[in-house]
């Protein structure tokens, strides 16, 4: 019994440490994707790009090509890591070795890959911007609009993750159920929910695309980041008609619950009719 208790305590500590690491990485990713780019424009920091040079000249610049190659390599590294661990043979092998900590390890590897991407990312400052809002009054108002929409998108993303069983996505729920002897929490969901989860593990595509593309200025390195992550998100989803039907039924059920009057008002109406 002592060994079992010690094992449960160990996996709980690992899951909690992983949660802190993943949560901190997520907060840093928000800063990397949104606030740094918009804050740069508001405070008038050093230029993100050189609009004085042409694209033909910029694409012959070795520093531009070197920085772009590093950024593309970082995106490829993240996509390869994320896809390899989600590949069924690798997933089964990791599950046989890690057991209940499999999802925890997957999230930790993803967070580590994001850390490498953010810390090694190379700004491409020697090429022109694809667009840049620099004329008054839009130079003041458009960054504020971007900040507002980014804030709303991140709020929606957090809400969706909570609705989509955030503890299960991070591997915390698996450890909790293991300690209580309840088995795998995903196996307790309905078959249609399990099917949906296998096809849609990133339910934040539209919102993330907004924060990737909606910026006051779009330099070349941001174009590479936005295009790479957008393409990966599009390819990672495999929703079909059965999944869409299931989502439609669930949405209709939730809307029906919200449309029902409170219990007190129902009783009051019944008394009025009597």
Q: What angle, 0 to 180 degrees and rounded to 10, lies between the N-to-C axes of helices 88-98 and 102-120? A: 120
pLDDT, tens digit, 9 for 90 and up, residues 181-224: 877 776 666 666 555 555 555 556 778 889 999 998 899 999 99
Residue 166 vs residue 56, higher pLDDT: 56
Residue among 29, 54, 11 nearest 175 (CA): 11
User: Does this model's pTM top 0.85?
Assistant: no
Structure confidence at residue 133 (pLDDT) = 82
pLDDT exceeds 90 at position 70: yes
Instruction: List phi, psi (to 5°) of 189.
Output: -80, 165
- What is the DSSP code (8-state) at residue 11? H
Q: Identify the burial level of 10 via C-beta atoms within 10 angstroms of its C-beta, where 0-12 means exposed, 13-18 middle and 19 or more buried.
A: exposed
pLDDT exceeds 80 at position 120: yes
Report the run of H or E that residue 179 belongs to, with start and end: helix 172-180
Mean pLDDT for 240-260 is 57
Structure confidence at residue 6 (pLDDT) = 81
- What is the DSSP code (8-state) at residue 52? T
Residue among 254, 250, 257, 236 nearest 192 (CA): 250
Structure confidence at residue 184 (pLDDT) = 73
Structure confidence at residue 24 (pLDDT) = 94
Among the listed ranges 22-36, 109-123, 224-238, which one has the minimum average pLDDT value?
224-238
């Amino acid at each position: 019994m002592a060994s079992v208790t010690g094992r449960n305590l160990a996996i709980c500590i690992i899951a909690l440490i992983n949660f802190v690491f993943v949560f901190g990485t997520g907060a840093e990713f928000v800063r990397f994707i949104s606030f740094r780019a918009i804050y740069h424009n508001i405070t008038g920091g050093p230029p993100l790009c050189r609009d004085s040079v042409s694209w033909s000249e910029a694409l012959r610049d070795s520093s531009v090509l070197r920085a772009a190659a590093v950024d593309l390599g970082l995106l490829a590294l993240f996509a390869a890591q994320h896809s390899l661990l989600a590949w069924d043979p690798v997933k089964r092998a990791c599950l046989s070795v890690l057991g209940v900590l499999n999802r925890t390890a997957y999230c930790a590897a993803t967070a580590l890959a994001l850390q490498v991407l953010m810390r090694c990312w190379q700004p491409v400052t020697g090429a022109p911007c694809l667009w840049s809002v620099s004329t008054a009054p839009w130079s003041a108002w458009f960054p504020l609009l971007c900040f507002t929409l980014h804030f709303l998108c991140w709020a929606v993303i957090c809400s969706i993750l909570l609705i989509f069983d955030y503890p299960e996505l991070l591997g915390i729920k698996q450890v909790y159920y293991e300690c209580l002897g309840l088995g795998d929490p995903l196996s307790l969901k309905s078959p249609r929910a399990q099917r949906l989860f296998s096809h849609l593990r990133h339910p934040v595509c539209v919102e993330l695309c907004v924060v990737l593309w909606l910026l006051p200025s779009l330099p070349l390195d941001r174009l590479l980041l936005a295009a790479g992550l957008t393409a990966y998100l599009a390819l990672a989803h495999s929703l079909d008609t059965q999944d869409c039907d299931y989502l439609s039924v669930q949405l209709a059920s939730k809307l029906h619950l919200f449309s029902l009057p409170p219990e007190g008002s129902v009783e009051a109406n019944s008394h009025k009719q009597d």
